[in-house]
Amino acid sequence: MKQTSTLNPISIRSYGLVTLAYWGFTVTDGALRMLVLLYFHTLGYTPLEVAMLFLFYEFFGIVTNLFGGWLASRWGVKLTLYGGIAMQIVALLLLTPVNESWAIALAVPYVMCAQAISGIAKDLTKMSSKSAIRLVIPKEEQSSLFKWVAVLTGSKNALKGVGFFLGGLLLATFGYVNALLIMAAGLSIVLLSSHWLPANMGKVKAKVKFRQLFSKSPEINVLSTARFFLFGARDVWFVVGLPVFLYGGLGWSFEQVGGFLAIWVIGYGLVQSLAPTLLRRFGDGRPPQASTIRFWTGALILVPAAIALILQLGYAPAPTIIIGLLIFGVIFAFNSAVHSYLVLAYTEDDKVALNVGFYYMANSGGRLAGTVLSGLVFQLYGLVGCLWVSAVFVLLAEIATFQLADPRAV
């Protein structure tokens, strides 16, 4: 990226440290999700009980995104980023005592509390890194902003896919407890880099009032609503229903489930990183507008509906799901890339952490709804039911986007 005199004085080196720390965290976060899901499924937990293990993870993500932006504005992203990494280490260590001898009535609330700490950690690091790139690249440089947001988000998702594979591999190779300890040791190394990051990065001079936590921008509010339903649509079949179906319904191994989902997320991340180049080559060359997100959200509605219909018609489930998931991933990647750009394009410099926190609060809300529904709907209606709910959620996201104006008009 070419630096100009309009760039914020925060150094690219500092942002690089933020990004590398976020990457390290992301690998362990993806591994932990796969580890917990597969381990507790093998202990005999029902899909709904497995989903409940992630309930606090998603719920406290909502709270964290709301207050995390306020914390970053007052004390800088160094506190929120590395504080999140430290909390993830604590969460990993708290999960080590749980085993098959624990009664479900004890294990479920205990794991939920440990996952709550992990959820707080995840959203502190996400909010910190997304806010940092908005501070490095000025708002008027729209094309550069779209490019580097897509690179950051896409690489994060690719590494989360690596984490999915790593979680299944560590569980199969080292066992549950040793896998958690290995990840905690890795994050401890990342934590050591914290002293190189400036303490005041992202800190604003003016005192941030509590009422400012809730965005008053119509564009941010509408985009947040669309984000809620978009990510709920993904997680309603991806979080519990899909991996449990692959393991229990198709008889795949831990490594196969983790590996397949890893390949999907890595591919999804790569497409997301390439989205600016692809849209520029095959579009009109302009940064995304409101019509861009409407197009990609509308296209996504058809995918889960088509997969559900094909499964109901009795076609082979394995190729149907594999092909359908690949198509879903490509279209969802364009949606996510454009979303991540628009929230920053709609945001002023002095509100970046607050607006990004508010926006990802909606993201966490959608993930929470999707996670709970993934376990509940799968248990009652199977994977087909999850897919139909996904289609409805994408439709609601599409309806919300019709209220968006173009970023340049804001």
Cα–Cα distance between 221 and 350 in angstroms, integer?
Answer: 17
Which residues in 344-355 are b (16+ Cβ under 10 Å) and which e?
bbbbeeebbbbb
pLDDT digits 0-9 by tens, 258-307 = 888 888 888 888 888 888 788 877 766 677 888 999 999 999 999 999 99
Cα–Cα distance between 286 and 406 in angstroms, integer?
Answer: 12
Tokens read off for 387: 């897919």
Confidence of residue 200 (pLDDT cuts 50, 70, 90): low
Cα–Cα distance between 239 and 376 in angstroms, integer?
Answer: 12
Q: For the ranges 141-150, 260-269, 306-315, 334-343, which has the lowest average pLDDT?
A: 141-150
Nearest to 69, CA basis, from 339, 406, 362, 273 = 362
Cα–Cα distance between 406 and 90 in angstroms, integer?
Answer: 43
* Predicted local distance difference test score (pLDDT) of residue 6: 46
Q: For the ranges 141-145, 309-313, 361-365, which has the lowest average pLDDT?
A: 141-145
Count other C-beta atoms under 10 Å from residue 319's C-beta.
10
Q: Exposed, middle or buried by CB within 10 Å (0-12, 13-18, 19+), for 235?
A: buried
Cα–Cα distance between 160 and 9 in angstroms, integer?
Answer: 30
Q: Is the pLDDT of residue 157 over 60?
A: yes
Residue with the bigger pLDDT between 210 and 329: it is: 329
Confidence of residue 7 (pLDDT cuts 50, 70, 90): very low
pLDDT digits 0-9 by tens, 234-267 = 999 988 889 889 988 888 887 888 888 888 888 8
Confidence of residue 142 (pLDDT cuts 50, 70, 90): low
How far out from the chain centre does Cα 29 lie? 10
Helix-, strand-, coil-residue percentages of the chain, each rounded to 5: 80, 0, 20
Q: Is the pLDDT of residue 116 over 80?
A: yes
Q: CA angle, corner 317, sides to 314 and 319, nearest 5?
A: 120
Q: Is the pLDDT of residue 381 over 50?
A: yes
Nearest to 358, CA basis, from 232, 211, 138 = 211
Amino acid making up residue 19: T
Cβ atoms 190, 85 nearer than 8 A: yes
Query: For residue 309, which phi and psi values (nearest 5 degrees)?
Result: -65, -40
Q: Exposed, middle or buried by CB within 10 Å (0-12, 13-18, 19+), for 274?
A: middle
Nearest to 279, CA basis, from 398, 146, 399 = 146
pLDDT digits 0-9 by tens, 71-88 = 766 777 777 888 889 999
Average pLDDT in the chain: 82
Nearest to 109, CA basis, from 59, 49, 58 = 49
Count other C-beta atoms under 10 Å from residue 264's C-beta.
20
Cα–Cα distance between 106 and 108 in angstroms, integer?
Answer: 6
Cβ atoms 85, 121 nearer than 8 A: yes
Most confident of 40-44, 46-50, 399-403: 399-403
How far out from the chain centre does Cα 143 lie? 23
Confidence of residue 401 (pLDDT cuts 50, 70, 90): very high
The rounded percent of the chain whose pLDDT value lies above 90 is 28
When pLDDT is averaged across residues 19-31 and rounded to a whole number, the result is 86
* Predicted local distance difference test score (pLDDT) of residue 144: 65
Amino acid making up residue 100: E
When pLDDT is averaged across residues 94-98 and rounded to a whole number, the result is 93
How far out from the chain centre does Cα 285 lie? 28
Cα–Cα distance between 152 and 157 in angstroms, integer?
Answer: 9
* Predicted local distance difference test score (pLDDT) of residue 406: 84
197: DSSP letter: S
Cβ atoms 26, 183 nearer than 8 A: no
How many CA atoms are closer than 13 Å to the CA of 88, on its beta-carbon side? 36
